[in-house]
Every structure is written in structure tokens, then in C-alpha cells.
Amino acid sequence: MRVLVAGGDGFCGWPTALYLSSRGHDVSIADNLSRREWDRELGTNSLTEISEPGSRVARWKEVSGREIEAFVGDLTDERFVYETIERLRPEAVVQFAEQRSAPYSMIDRSHAVFTQVNNVVGTMNLMFAIGELVPDCHLIKLGTMGEYGTPNIDIEEGYLTVEYKGRTDTLPYPKQPGSFYHLSKVHDSHNIMFACRAWGLRATDLNQGVVYNVDTEETASDPVLRNRFDYDGIFGTALNRFCAQAASGSGITVYGGGGQTRGFIDIRDTVRCVELAANHPAERGEFRVFNQFTEQWSVLELAQLVERVARSLDLQTELAYLDNPRVEKEEHYYRAANTRLIDLGLKPHLLTEETVERLLVMALENRARIEPETFAPRVDWRKPDYR
């Protein structure tokens, strides 16, 4: 099918575009390249050296024989969105084009406002363009398990059946987001749900857990196709950051007591989940929710796993406990459902010591690019900069 991957230059978007292209889909990407600019703003960098967008697309055509058309533009620009949708007439749109870091959204007023405007307005422009130009198109939006928070009951997949005063209804699962970034995802969900109900759009919300690992088969096939490896305290996810810390001889930093438990997913399963959603589209008027994770880990369990594997490689590292800069429960109940993608055929890659070893070796190979000063948390949820 014809698929547009918005945010196709990013950590999830790039490997998804290559994977869908390799599976025979006609793939285009759209991106404003802001993620690269944020590295310059923050003084951070990808642990792996990533090529320029034009080089990436050209090399993919050389190695695969398949073309990915790239559009540079911003989804908050409605003209760009409408012109792109009109030209491509996609059958599916994968929405990755959002600012994805909770710490980035909590830096100060301007970063919080930017995150909300960029994420919510960009997605709304996509909704309106799809509704007007290609109303049968399937919108696949990357959500986050962070929308739910950490309730003291089981987390269902999007909806909860409630009995109250003798009456029963199935309602959207209550949301307790933990940052302005997570709040933007909640706003997306509500907006898309309304559009499905009012206009008959078809949409799938993939509430993804924390992504680990870096490469898929496609991105690992050529150095020019390499995916980014974020390890810093703002964009680096926990496992990738821990591996970079161990490789550089730094302490593995655990926020608080490390009891924070979340859903996790391998990047190879991320791209497969998108394919499964695309190949089994929602019905017209349906807003469905899949919890996109494969297993649950606490932060401390991850840190101990990395420490154990690092020591087997003769790397000397130890755990360091920091005051938690986030406002979150550190000990809590966490049990979430994740059966719908499994029912569609997902066969998960589970986190093993071999996976961690590969990440550590990758970090060691690129050790000269590690900047240890970027590990430290720089954003305090309790002390916002109001500028």
C-alpha cells in the first residue's frame, strides 16, 4: 500500500520506513529535521554517527532497489500537510512526527508550549487533511503507555468497562500523564477519537512502551543506513543510557530507588507492530488502541542487568542513585494488558543478556563519541523555568 511515515528521519520513523519499504510497500517520509537541530541546541549527539537524510534515502535505493520519496516540511504548516497528502494519496499515514522527550517538554515554558503546539497541531492538520482528501486512509498514531500513568488497577488497552449506580458503559481508560509531552499524547488521543466519531475516520493508537535497542535488519545492513543511538539525560532512554554509561566507565545512574516499572519494547518489534496495524486497518469510524510493549521491567532491574553484563565484559561500573528529578511514584503496582498485537501475529524479541551485550559492544565501538557530561539529568520537574 501507499504509506506516508511522518517523522521518517527519526529514531522510530527511519527504521519503520525502511522496514515497510523492504516488505513491498510504497513508502514516503516527511520530516522537518528538527531532531537533528535539538542535538545542536542541547549540545548532545547520537552515539552512532548518522548520515544526512538525502544520503540515507539514496543509499537505500542502491542497496534495495526501492525508492523512498522524502518531503521536508513541518506538520504545523497546514499547506505543507495538505499538499503532501494530496500528492501522495496515502492509504496509511504513520504519525511519528512529534517531540518525544518528557524531559525536553519540562525544560521551561517555551519548551512545554512548543511540545504541545508541535504535537497537537501537527496531528490535527493530518486529521483534517485525511478527512478531506483521503477519508478512507488509516491513521496510525504513535501514542505512549505514559498516557495511563501508574494506576493502582490493571491497565487495559484503551478502554475500561465501568459499572456505576446500576448502569454499565465502556469508556476511555482514565489518563494520568506525567509530563507535558505525555499530556500532548493524551490530547492527540482525544482529538483523533472525536474525529473518528464525527467524521468516520479510521485510526489506531499505538500506546508504545519505552523503546530499547537501536538497529533493525535494514538499518544494520549499511553504515549509511544506521539508526541513531540516544544516550543523554534528555533523549536517551534508560537502557541505552545505561549501556553508554557502562562503556564510558561512568556510574549507571538510577533515579530514586529505581522501582519505577514500565512497559518496554525492542525497536525491531516497533516496526513490526506498525506493519501489523497497517495490514489490519481499523474500521471506518473506529478508534482502536493497542498497548505496544512486550515486557515490563523496573529501572533498577534494567540497571542491574547492564551492570552484570558489563562486568562479564571486564567493564568496571557500579550503580549510582540520584535524587529523582521527576514527579513519579517509585514503588507502585503496574500490570498492563498487551494482547491485541500478539493476537495479530507479533512474535516479540525479549530483552536478554545477549541484547545488552550487543548494545555495550556498539557503545564501546563508538566510545570516542560519548560525552559523559550529557548523562546527568538537567531538568527538574519541581523547579520549572517559567520564562
Q: Is 347 assigned a catalytic role?
A: no
Q: In the annotation, is 185 catalytic? A: yes
Q: Which position among 144, 150, 204, 317 bears the catalytic label?
A: 144
Q: Which helix (H) or strand (E) holds 21?
A: helix 13-22
Q: Give the separation between CA 230 and CA 39, rounded to whole angstroms.
A: 10
HSE on the CB side for 226, CA within 13 Å?
13
**Of the listed 115, 141, 185, 216, which one is catalytic?**
185
Residue the block writes with cell 514527579: 327
| 9 Cβ neighbours under 8 A, 6+ residues apart | 29, 31, 33, 35, 36, 53, 56
Q: What is the 3-state secondary structure (H, E, C) of 206-272?
A: EEECEEECCCCCCHHHCHHHCCCCCCCCCCCCHHHHHHHHHHCCCCEEEECCCCCEEEEEEHHHHHH
Burial class from Cβ neighbours inside 10 Å (0-12, 13-18, 19+) for residue 345 reads exposed
What nine digits make up the cell of 279? 495490514
Active site residues: 144, 181, 185
